Amino acid sequence: MRDGAVHPGAWWLWALGLGVAATRTTNPLLLALLVAVSAYVVTARRPHAPWSRSYDAFVKLALAVIAVRLVFTVVFGSGVPGTRVLLTLPEVPLPDWAQGIRLGGAVTAEGLAYGLYQAMKLAALLICVGAANALANPSRLLKAVPGALYETGVAVVVALTFAPHLIADVRRLRAARRLRGRPDKGVRGLLQVGLPVLEGALERSVALAAAMDARGYGRTALVPAAVRRTTAALTLGGLLGVCAGTYGTLTAEGGTYGMPVLLAGLAAALAGLRLGGRRSLRTRYRPDRWNARSGLVAVSGAAAAALLALAGARDPAALNPSVVPFSAPGLPLWPAAAVLLGLLPAFVTPAPGRPASPEEAS
């Protein structure tokens, strides 16, 4: 890790903060602003690496989610009563056991708006996750995982790098087919590219398994039974406390006990992870350090999430515009300013270095 580089965990905290902010609102203007903020930061700070090219795929997936949700809303309805009928489709009669489900019928502006708002929320969350995939180096992220979660961390990192490697393989094979004058689009091109991509994924999996076995993956140290039982109790109890505390903080009834239980659960879980790290025999070469820039990146995402949650509690109508009766959404000013805090990483982090030319590499 070069001096001044951002910790990969900070990028994930930033992206998850924006994702949490996206779940607190259905205002399409705020959701579009969240997507624009993540896109600007990714464009400005995405490194030149194969795994950083997955952001475009997540954007396409988000657009597909919106399209599918709107199609389902038109065909099956949204369950939202509306009076502004846009068009009427032929309705197919369904049996009695399918009560509550319709196929066809009137398509209202209120139902389409509700479906669009919900789809944009999920799309914004997917794009935020794609931003984390494009900005955080997965191998460096694995080095930062606690020793007790090393095996789980390896599985997560392998899963996160699957999509970028798959996209890189598809681009490489499509470029090779174009050079040979063969079709690379349409159903035929997709079928002829799919088999080599799956073959490459299988070969990569076998090579990864052999490398992990050669490096002694899964080897653990012997620890006393009392330490193992204490670790399991602290970890399990801490996770249960985190779940209960999170539920309490999100409900009105648990406002008094939610935060203390959440903090106690976090403390117990961290203590369990600390004890569980004794079983890991691995060492870390030049581990990443958490510097001031990493803190600013993480705080910017957390601040956006916290301020959006506060805005939702004070003025829920601004963050969740009404669809029945339908009203055009407006852009609330200070929640929009809170979202713009997510732009901070684009100005406080170093620009990625340009890729080396063939002459420099040689």
Whether the pTM exceeds 0.75: the reply is no
Q: Write out pLDDT tens, residues 230-282.
A: 877 887 888 888 888 777 766 655 556 777 887 888 888 878 777 776 666 56
Q: What is the mean pLDDT of residues 93-102?
A: 71
Residue 152 sits at φ, ψ, to 5 deg, of -65, -40
Q: Is a pLDDT exceeding 70 seen at residue 182?
A: yes
Greater model confidence, 170 or 100: 170
To the nearest whole percent, how much of the chain has pLDDT over 90?
A: 21
Q: Is a pLDDT exceeding 80 seen at residue 16?
A: yes
Highest mean pLDDT among 16-30, 73-87, 138-152 belongs to: 16-30
Q: Is a pLDDT exceeding 50 seen at residue 211?
A: yes
Amino acid 216: pLDDT: 65
Looking at the DSSP bridge assignments, the partners of residue 107 are 87
Greater model confidence, 137 or 186: 137
Taking residue 41's Cβ as centre, other Cβ atoms within 10 Å add up to: 26
Amino acid 201: pLDDT: 73
Amino acid 356: pLDDT: 39
Q: Write out pLDDT tens, residues 271-287.
A: 877 777 666 656 666 66
Q: Write out pLDDT tens, residues 115-174.
A: 899 999 999 999 999 999 888 887 777 666 666 566 666 666 666 666 667 777 777 777
Provide the pLDDT confidence category of residue 24 given band limits of 50, 70 and 90: confident
Amino acid 101: pLDDT: 72
Contact 113, 326 (CB under 8 A): yes
Chain-wide mean pLDDT for the chain?
A: 79
Amino acid 163: pLDDT: 64
Q: Is a pLDDT exceeding 80 seen at residue 17?
A: yes
**Distance between CA atoms of 146 and 47, rounded to whole angstroms?**
25
Q: What is the mean pLDDT of residues 178-207?
A: 73
Q: Write out pLDDT tens, residues 298-350.
A: 999 999 998 998 888 888 888 888 888 888 888 889 899 999 999 999 998 88
Greater model confidence, 352 or 25: 25
Provide the pLDDT confidence category of residue 217 given band limits of 50, 70 and 90: low
The residue with tokens 């995402």 is 301
Q: What is the mean pLDDT of residues 85-98?
A: 77
Q: Is a pLDDT exceeding 90 seen at residue 176?
A: no
The residue with tokens 């870390």 is 284
Amino acid 63: pLDDT: 95
Domain range summary for the chain, segments of one domain joined by +: 1-144+292-352, 149-220, 221-279
**Distance between CA atoms of 354 and 136, rounded to whole angstroms?**
17
- Amino acid identity at 212: M
Greater model confidence, 33 or 76: 33
